[in-house]
Structure 1
Amino acid sequence: MDIDQLKYFQSVAETKSFTEAAARMNLSQPALSRSIQRLEEEFGQPFFERKPRCVELTDAGLLFQRSATQILRIVEDAKAEISDDGETGKIRVGAIPTIAPYFLPDLLRQFSDEFPRSHLIVHENTTDELLKRIKQGEIDLAILAEPITEKYVEVKPLLEEELYLLLPPQHALCEKKRIRLEDVEEESFVMLDEAHCLSENIHSFCRQRSILPVAVERANQLATVQELVSLSHGISMIPAMARRLDRSKRRVYRSFTKPRPSRTLVCVTNPYRFQSRLFREFRERLCSYARSFGEG
């Protein structure tokens, strides 16, 4: 068994296709198949179940994948540590969907301009999935929203941002400049799917004040929530960063009276992994960017 075989195995496991994996690894399909076959013969177990349109990991394959992932991460960390020049390298950044499109673009552009030999890769997913990838070493850093209850990760606050009330322009509450939470107690809400932590942020704030928002519709993207509110499907709460980029005149935003609902953005890393000079540079600029972003 060698490192290349582990990489080939991982590629097939990720793509679920020998054809796609071979193309990704710039290898002929017969050569890839022979490499996997030798690996399976060495361990005396089939790692893949060949199906008509795809391949799936067997139980033995799932066990081997965990070890293969750890070995490849160790090798990758060793290479990064040896060739740590502070200018070249790969940084894998995770972010939840209610942060990534609003917060990341300018940050990534600024960092790429300053470090043109770096390679930034963005993974957008839910909080639970990103925390899992942080612990497994599949991403280097995640930008999430509190609360973070996962153990054995490092959590650093970045900024706190207000959650605004979102209304259709003809709604009666548009006449008010400041809204009390009690004013929306009987209103119907358009919310994000429960997998998104923003929904829990809203529910948590309301529960503390003995109010439970009633969701009549759920969506997977903030842009969809905004459009549904524009069509008078209900009202909602939207983070300040999403409001900042909204140029539509078909929606109205209002602040609540104090205490205002808010969420805290955090940077989550794995303290047990090697952190290159380039990674530390990115984290430092992330914190600086977050401070200026919060003041903007």
Structure 2
Amino acid sequence: MTLRHFRIFSEVCRLESITLAAESMNMAQPAVSYAIKEMENYYETKLFERMNRRLYITEAGEQLLLYTDSILAQFDEARDVLRDKNAVTKVKIGTNVSYGISWLPELTAGFLKQYPEIPLYTLVENSRQIEEKLLRNELDFGIMDYPMHAEYFITNLMKEETMSVVCAEQYPLPSCIDIQKLQEIPLLLREEGSGSRSLIESLLNKYKILPEIVMESSSDRSLMEACSQGRGVLFLTTAEVAPYISSHRLREIQIEGIEINRAYYLVYHKSKFLTKSMKCFKNYMEQKEN
């Protein structure tokens, strides 16, 4: 397989059409079809299904596309950097929402103070979205929950913090409850794909609790506002809810015998080409860890 094959495959996936890919790449349509056929023969699997004159990528094709995006991005990145090995390059970091709210401003300010010449790009999304962008080489580093596809990544523990269970000041609950009480209480949770959602679902599954979820959101602030209005009980990191607790808009509830901790990891792809700027960021994070 050559880079030409991967570029053709990537363009066919992007446009969902061999004809449009051929036009985009200024190639004859049979040449594009033949390249795809060569790839299917090489990998001994179907990469696309053709139904009703439409092209649908297969599960095997989806897996190959992850590698393809990474291979092409790393090739272009390596070319640009090696042409000027001392070049200062942008470092692209993705963090999950909890870390982004509580710790990212301090992190970026500290790094830019130490390395003012290195530009940073930061993106705050949930852990699943960050992982997908790392797989596609759209980000250099992720600060997130433990990745679902850990076999593709180098993963280092960076920070741990506690999760708090909170409700409105006047919500009719005692300050300490049994875990089974959560079966009866309306819950406010982050959206599926977020690390805190996965953590809470694992806890509830462990105790065979079927929750009554009354609100889901990717916005922690909207969840805290709804919780302060008495909608139900909310799980978020202690750092995030602290201002609401100190202003008496929320109060903390203890779950008898249970402490919930959340971990954040520095994650990057095993095949990632680390530029000089990326190595500076990695070293900075390792110093913070120690």
Q: Same-fold call, TM > 0.5? A: yes
Measured after TM superposition, the shift of residue 208 of structure 1 is: 1.6
Whether the aligned pair in 1 keeps the contact of 2:74 and 2:272 (CA below 8 Å) is no
Paired position in structure 2 for 1:163: 163
Paired position in structure 2 for 1:199: 197
Structure 2 residue ranges without an equivalent (≥5): 1-6, 16-20, 33-53
Q: 1:97, 1:258 → 2: CA distance? A: 28
Aligned length: 249
1:1-296 to 2 correspondence within 5 Å? 40-44=25-29, 70-81=71-82, 83-85=84-86, 88-146=88-146, 148-173=148-173, 176=175, 178-246=176-244, 248-289=247-288
Measured after TM superposition, the shift of residue 164 of structure 1 is: 0.5
Measured after TM superposition, the shift of residue 59 of structure 1 is: 6.2
Q: 2:184, 2:192 → 1: CA distance? A: 21
Q: 1:89, 1:289 → 2: CA distance? A: 22
Whether the aligned pair in 1 keeps the contact of 2:73 and 2:137 (CA below 8 Å) is no
Cα 1:289–1:180 change in 2 (3 A) is farther
Measured after TM superposition, the shift of residue 235 of structure 1 is: 0.8
Deviations 1:146-177 (A, max 9, x none): 3633432112112222111111001243x52x
Q: 1:280, 1:214 → 2: CA distance? A: 46
Measured after TM superposition, the shift of residue 189 of structure 1 is: 0.7
Whether the aligned pair in 2 keeps the contact of 1:98 and 1:221 (CA below 8 Å) is no
Measured after TM superposition, the shift of residue 128 of structure 1 is: 2.9
Paired position in structure 1 for 2:38: none
SS at match of 1:158: strand
Measured after TM superposition, the shift of residue 204 of structure 1 is: 0.6
Cα 1:228–1:182 change in 2 (3 A) is same
Give the partner amino acid of 1:250.
R
SS at match of 2:98: coil
Whether the aligned pair in 2 keeps the contact of 1:111 and 1:282 (CA below 8 Å) is yes
Cα 1:65–1:59 change in 2 (3 A) is farther
TM-score where L is the length of structure 1: 0.70
SS at match of 2:143: strand
Moved beyond 6 Å, runs of 4+: 62-66
Whether the aligned pair in 2 keeps the contact of 1:89 and 1:278 (CA below 8 Å) is yes
% identical equivalent positions:
15
Paired position in structure 1 for 2:39: none
Cα 1:64–1:218 change in 2 (3 A) is closer
Measured after TM superposition, the shift of residue 195 of structure 1 is: 3.0
Give the partner amino acid of 2:132.
K
Cα 1:245–1:122 change in 2 (3 A) is farther
Give the partner amino acid of 2:76.
V
Q: 2:149, 2:204 → 1: CA distance? A: 20
Structure 1 residue ranges without an equivalent (≥5): 1-5, 15-35, 48-57, 292-296
SS at match of 1:98: helix
SS at match of 1:132: helix
